[in-house]
Amino acid sequence: MVYGLKDDELVPLEEYWGRLPKYEMLTSTAVLVFDFGTEMYIWSGINANSDEKYKVLKLAKELWNEGFNYSECSVCPINIALLLGERSSSDLPKISNSRPEWALFCKITQHRETILFKEKFLDWPDFSRTVLIKDEIINIKIELFYDIKPIDMNEMLREVTLRSDIVIEGYRLVRGDSYFDEETNRIFQFDTLKVTVWRIMENSYEIVNDESIGQFYEGDSYIVKWNFTVSVKVRKLSGKPSKSDPGRNFTLFFFWIGCKSSINETGIAALLTVALNSENAPQIRVTQGCEPPPFLQLFNGMMVIHKGKMGATKKSARVSKLFILRGEIEREAHLVEVPCKAQQLRSRASFLLLNSKRNEVTIWYGCKATGQTRKVLKNCVEALLRLRLSHLNLSTKPKLKELEEGNKDRYFDEILGNTKNAYISLLEDQRTYNFTPRLFSFSSTSGTFTATEICCPHKSEYPCPYPILQDQLYSSPQPALFLVDNEYELWLWQGWWYDKEGDGMNTSDQTGSGAIRWQAERKAAMMTAKNYWIKKHGDSNKTNVKLVWAGLEPLEFQILFPHWEKREDVAEINVKEGKEPFGKKDLEEELAVFSRNIFPLSKLQERPLPEGVDPTHLEDYLSPEDFQNVLSMTKEEYLKLPSWKQTSLKKENGLF
């Protein structure tokens, strides 16, 4: 049985199901699971995506722990050997909750397959029997070196115009209400007919009543069906729209995945979307925090994302809840519950605090919150109190009050704790904050060092104070590099290597070429950040670029996000690597370290190595005197030696 990954779940490959596998299926980008009963192999190509390898390995372990079921087969491969030869016949089980202790569960990488794995294939090539023609031997020394160049600043500084990528039969939904097509001089109007929502349960689903539509829980998954019409109007020469056509009816399915929902529920949501989709309508997967405008507008500014799961939350309802506002357009406004602590406050945001015991609602405005943000939150709260009061765990006619940052309120401080020094307030900052921070992802996997801007899906013409989510950094294949432009400072965020001794799910090349590429990428990212600052601000003497490590981010970096959770597991990994807890390094200082090319022998024999040092060529960082003393020859003499001799000398002298 052969499985592949699709929509975050293992699905059978029908072409090879129940047949002998063929060599042609092993492509360099594939990640496959081979289940032979007594043996299960997770095979990955040399160019396979790291994140995909991690997911497949986790799902394969779950499949392995489920045991086996060969009830539909004539024999069971687990115990067929007990029937061979002169043995007494007996009924052998074909179903079990576990596999034998002697069964094999293995990870295999392309070109490193075992004989046992190769023998399972029908046509595995035997290169040992291939007759090779000996060609002229050319003695070429191949150097493993990455010359990664910084990025063109003009491309990075150019603002990205975000347009919806949801297209149905040629109609661009854009924000989900209407849009004007300048090329055809037509106005497209989208009018909602009906919105139906189902909540995913263990192995089934339940329909959400009309009064609860728009109430989501981060531990659940939902299916949302949108029935709407599309009307087309042609604009007259006078500029006024003409009469529209009767319009066409359309259906669109969204399946919304909460950030804490289980993998099983995610898979069930996808399957049930197909089952409910009798119209064969388009389906769109939406993850929490990345909702597109057409999805948000379905709830008319009354979408609320609660913490926990729906059933568990009702049983242990919290007296106080704190919500942050996201979305700068009234119909796209949505409240996201965050921990009810003063550390969650942000000066550029507006918050809603609910207290069911006092039947009180407090709107808290950050000192740098824009007028649009204040207006949107006020309208959102008034609509919720009018139409969705029961879901906020409040009684009728709750007390509503508004509070500005810096003003004291006894009950507010009692609920959140001491707000002084709990977060970084901008009350004394005289600068304006009418900008949207930007996020860039750096990578050189394509062969060229590139920067890709990651935009907020509901970006609009209004400034968005917190468009970036922590999960966008941590869910990327690691180690990753991100640049955060917060107008008055730049932050270069650096990821981590998966811990080899942790859960056994390391999918990164932590040594050799992987380590060399990582150091080269870091240096190129630093140079790019410096050039970006100079190009944007024009002063090379006052660069304000800071470097931070994953898990060790200082509070100044954490407040750039609407919500932040400490990752102790990642922090432990980077601390082991010698990184400073909750520290930030100046870019110029770090670049100076990277530019250093001479180190004493003692430093090159320490682990971890100094920043920017190529672990495969430690001898290159010795001074001429140290080189002579350590290797008993000059560098010119050393370079004339064959590669195997050079390697042997480095091992003998602790330079390998």
| Mean pLDDT value across residues 635-654 | 83
What would the pLDDT profile of 193-226 be if each residue is shown by its tens digit? 999 999 988 777 889 988 889 999 999 999 999 9
Kindly compute the dihedral angle of the four CA atoms of residues 518, 524, 528, 531, in this order, to the nearest 10 degrees: 150
Can you read off the two tokens belonging to residue 459?
Answer: 């970006």
3-state secondary structure of 349: coil
Pick the CATH number of 167-291 from 3.40.50.620, 3.40.20.10, 3.40.228.10, 3.40.50.261: 3.40.20.10
Q: Bin 63: left if φ > 0, else alpha if -120 < ψ < 50, else beta.
A: alpha
Helix axis angle, 513-537 to 587-595, nearest 10° = 140
Look up tokens 């290159």; give the residue.
Answer: 620
Of the spans 127-131, 282-286, 644-648, which averages the highest pLDDT?
A: 282-286
Angle at 121 between CA 117 and CA 126, to 5 degrees: 85
**Which element (helix H / strand E) includes 448?**
none
pLDDT category, 588, cuts 50, 70, 90?
Answer: confident
Mean pLDDT computed over 571-599: 81
C-alpha distance from residue 396 to each of 127, 355, 358 (Å)? 79, 13, 12
pLDDT band (50, 70, 90) for residue 410: confident
What residues does 134 pair with on adjacent strands? none
When the candidates are 3.40.20.10, 3.40.50.620, 3.30.930.10, 3.30.56.10, the CATH number that belongs to 301-426 is: 3.40.20.10
Q: Which residue has the tokens 């709750």?
A: 398
The predicted-structure confidence for 283-308, as pLDDT tens digits, reads as follows: 888 999 999 999 999 999 999 999 98
Q: Domain 2-129 is in which class?
A: alpha beta
Task: Identify the pLDDT of residue 517.
Answer: 79
In angstroms, rounded to a whole number, what is the distance separating the alpha carbons of residues 491 and 554? 11
pLDDT mean across residues, the chain: 82
The dihedral through the CA atoms of 475, 480, 484, 490 has a sign that is positive
> Is residue 85 predicted with pLDDT exceeding 60?
no
Q: What is the pLDDT of residues 229-275, one digit of tens each?
A: 988 877 665 556 566 566 788 899 998 999 888 877 777 777 777 77
C-alpha–C-alpha distance, residues 525 and 183, integer Å? 40
**Strand 360-365 relative to strand 399-404, pairing:** parallel
Nearest to 622 by CA among 601, 647, 592, 652: 601
CB 322, CB 338: distance < 8 Å:
yes
- Going from the C-alpha of 427 to that of each of 326, 368, 420, 534, the distances in angstroms are 21, 8, 12, 28
**462-483 pLDDT, tens digit each:** 999 999 999 999 989 888 999 9
pLDDT in tens, 340-375: 998 899 999 999 999 888 888 999 999 999 999 999
Q: How many CB atoms sit inside 10 A of residue 315's CB?
A: 8
CA distance 630 to 618: 12
Residue 376 is given by DSSP the state H
pLDDT digits (tens, 9 = 90+) for 90-111: 667 888 888 888 889 999 998 8
For the chain, state the CA radius of gyration: 30
309-336 residue pLDDT tens: 887 655 556 788 999 999 999 999 999 9
Domain 601-652: assigned CATH number: 1.10.950.10
- Domain-wise residue ranges, the chain: 2-129, 167-291, 301-426, 438-595, 601-652
Q: Could you tell me which CATH class the domain 438-595 is placed in?
A: alpha beta
Report d(CA 169, CA 188) in Å as an integer.
13
CB 618 within 8 A of CB 604: yes
Rounded-to-integer distance, Cα 106 and Cα 109, Å = 10
Domains 301-426 and 601-652 share a fold: no
